[in-house]
Amino acid sequence: MTKLDRVKEEIGAIKSYLGFVIAFIITIGAGLIKIYLDNSSDFLLLLGVLSIVILAVIFAFLAKIMHQKICELEDI
């Protein structure tokens, strides 16, 4: 496998990971709305908000890596 193909595969994998992170954020966000409207648990609400923040940081990190890989394509 050439270096170009390897970098393309890495970019494709990172795009998949970004999709999973977005799906998790949307799912947790919907759950948080339900918890908020039901006034169920403050602990679960806090836990959900923290998890969304962590997932947002992971998303930003993966996006940065993907952009670095795209820039690496220019050098090949």
The pLDDT tens digits of the residues spanning 7-27 come to 889 999 999 999 999 999 999
Give pTM, 2 decimals: 0.84
pLDDT of residue 67: 92
Q: Where are the alpha helices (DSSP H) in 1-76?
A: 3-38, 42-75
- Encoded amino acid at 47, one letter: L
CA distances from residue 73 to 5, 26, 60, 62 in whole angstroms, order as listed: 10, 31, 20, 17
CA distance 58 to 20: 11
CA distance 11 to 5: 10
Torsion of CA 33, 36, 37, 38, to 10 degrees: 120
